[in-house]
C-alpha cells in the first residue's frame, strides 16, 4: 500500500480543492493542519515546503522517482495529483488544454477576486473603523465576482462541466462559489447554479469539503482571539 500523501491544510476554498481531489482520486493522505489564524504558516517546517507561506501544500513520500516530493500552489498540486492517479486530467493535448485554461482561470481570476470580495465584505468592517474607506473595495470586488460568475454561467450553458468531462478544473472552481459570502444570487446564473449543485452532490466532494471543518476559527467573530487571528492573517506577521 502506498505511503499516504501529507496534506498541509486549513479548511478554506484553496484547501478544499485538494481535499476534494484526494477524495475523488482515492489517494491515501494524512492531514497536517496549518492554523493560519495563529501564524503556523510562518513556521520554518511549513515554509520549507511552501516558500510563499500559504497553504495548501503536499508532500508525496513516494514521488515518481521514489523520493519525497513537496509541492505548493493548489493548481500545481491538482495537476500533479491528476497525473499521479491517472484520473480527472486526461493527457491528450486538446483535453489537457481545455482543463488547463479553466484551471489557470480559477487560480488567476476567480480565486483572487472572490477572496478579495470575502475580505472587504466580511473582514474589513472589523479592521477599519471608517466604513467609507471600504465601500469602494466592496463594490469593486463584488462586481468583479459577479462578472466571473457570468463567465462560468455562459460556459456551462451547453455543457455539464467546465472542460468536457468532470475534471480538476471543476474541483478548483467549485469551492470558490460561495454566493452568501460574495454578495451574489445564484438564481441569476441558472447554468452555474445547476453545475454547483451537480458537483456538490458528488459523495467525494461532500467528504472533501467536510475535511477539518471542526478546525476553523471564525475570524469574523468578535472577541480578543478573533481579533488576534485577524492581525496574524491580514497583517501577515508571525504571532
Structure confidence by residue, pLDDT tens digits, 143-191: 999 999 999 999 999 999 999 999 999 999 999 999 999 999 999 999 9
d(Cα 21, Cα 85) in Å, to the nearest integer?
Answer: 10
Per the domain annotation, does 194 fall within a domain? yes
The whole model's pTM is what?
Answer: 0.90
Which of 182-188's residues contact partners 24+ apart within 8 Å by CB, and which partners?
Answer: 182/114, 182/117, 182/118, 182/121, 182/142, 182/145, 183/117, 183/121, 183/138, 183/142, 183/145, 183/146, 184/142, 184/145, 184/146, 184/149, 186/149, 188/149
Per the domain annotation, does 98 fall within a domain? yes
Q: Are residues 127 and 167 in the same domain?
A: yes
Q: Are residues 113 and 130 in the same domain?
A: yes
Q: Are residues 140 and 171 in the same domain?
A: yes
Per the domain annotation, does 210 fall within a domain? no
Q: What is the CATH number of the domain that holds 131?
A: 1.20.1050.10
Per the domain annotation, does 181 fall within a domain? yes
* Look-up of cell digits 492581525: 231
Q: Are residues 108 and 181 in the same domain?
A: yes
Q: Are residues 52 and 102 in the same domain?
A: no
pLDDT tens, position by position, 49-87: 999 999 999 999 998 888 999 999 999 999 999 999 999
Q: Are residues 74 and 126 in the same domain?
A: no
Per the domain annotation, does 178 fall within a domain? yes
Q: What is the CATH number of the domain that holds 42?
A: 3.40.30.10
Contact, 153 vs 185, CB < 8 A? no
Per the domain annotation, does 206 fall within a domain? no
Backbone φ and ψ of 120, nearest 5°: -70, -30
Q: Are residues 107 and 137 in the same domain?
A: yes
Q: How many domains does the chain have?
A: 2
pLDDT category at 107 given cuts 50, 70, 90 is: very high
Q: Are residues 76 and 139 in the same domain?
A: no
As given in the structure block, the three cell numbers for residue 99 are 482543463
DSSP letter (8 states) at residue 59? E
State residue 229's pLDDT score. Answer: 59
Contact, 30 vs 54, CB < 8 A? no
- Measured between its terminal Cα atoms, the distance across the chain in Å is 39
Per the domain annotation, does 136 fall within a domain? yes
Q: Which residues pair with 69 in a beta bridge?
A: 60
Q: Tell how strand 57-60 and strand 5-9 pair up.
A: antiparallel
Q: Are residues 104 and 185 in the same domain?
A: yes
As given in the structure block, the three cell numbers for residue 157 are 450553458
User: What domain range includes position 105?
Assistant: 93-201
Q: Are residues 113 and 193 in the same domain?
A: yes
Q: Are residues 13 and 40 in the same domain?
A: yes
Per the domain annotation, does 214 fall within a domain? no
Across the chain, mean pLDDT equals: 91
Amino acid at each position: 500500500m502506498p505511503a499516504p500523501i501529507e496534506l498541509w491544510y486549513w479548511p478554506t476554498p484553496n484547501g478544499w480543492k485538494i481535499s476534494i481531489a484526494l477524495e475523488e482520486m482515492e489517494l491515501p493522505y494524512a492531514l497536517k493542519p496549518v492554523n493560519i489564524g495563529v501564524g503556523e504558516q510562518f513556521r520554518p517546517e511549513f515554509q520549507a515546503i511552501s516558500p510563499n507561506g500559504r497553504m495548501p501544500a503536499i508532500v508525496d513520500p513516494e514521488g515518481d522517482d521514489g523520493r519525497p516530493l513537496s509541492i505548493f500552489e493548489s493548481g500545481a498540486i491538482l495537476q500533479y495529483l491528476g497525473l499521479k492517479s491517472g484520473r480527472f486530467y486526461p493527457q491528450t493535448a486538446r483535453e489537457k488544454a481545455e482543463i488547463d485554461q479553466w484551471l489557470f482561470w480559477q487560480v488567476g481570476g476567480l480565486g483572487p477576486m472572490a477572496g478579495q470580495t470575502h475580505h472587504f465584505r466580511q473582514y474589513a468592517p472589523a479592521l477599519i473603523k471608517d466604513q467609507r474607506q471600504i465601500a469602494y473595495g466592496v463594490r469593486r470586488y463584488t462586481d468583479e465576482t459577479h462578472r466571473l460568475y457570468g463567465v462560468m454561467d455562459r460556459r456551462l450553458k451547453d455543457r455539464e462541466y467546465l472542460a468536457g468531462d468532470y475534471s480538476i478544473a471543476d474541483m478548483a472552481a467549485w469551492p470558490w462559489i460561495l454566493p452568501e459570502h460574495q454578495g451574489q444570487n445564484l438564481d441569476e446564473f441558472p447554468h452555474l447554479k445547476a453545475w454547483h449543485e451537480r458537483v456538490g452532490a458528488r459523495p467525494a466532494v461532500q467528504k472533501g469539503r467536510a475535511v477539518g471543518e471542526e478546525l476553523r476559527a471564525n475570524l469574523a467573530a468578535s472577541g480578543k482571539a478573533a481579533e488576534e487571528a485577524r492581525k496574524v492573517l491580514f497583517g501577515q506577521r508571525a504571532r
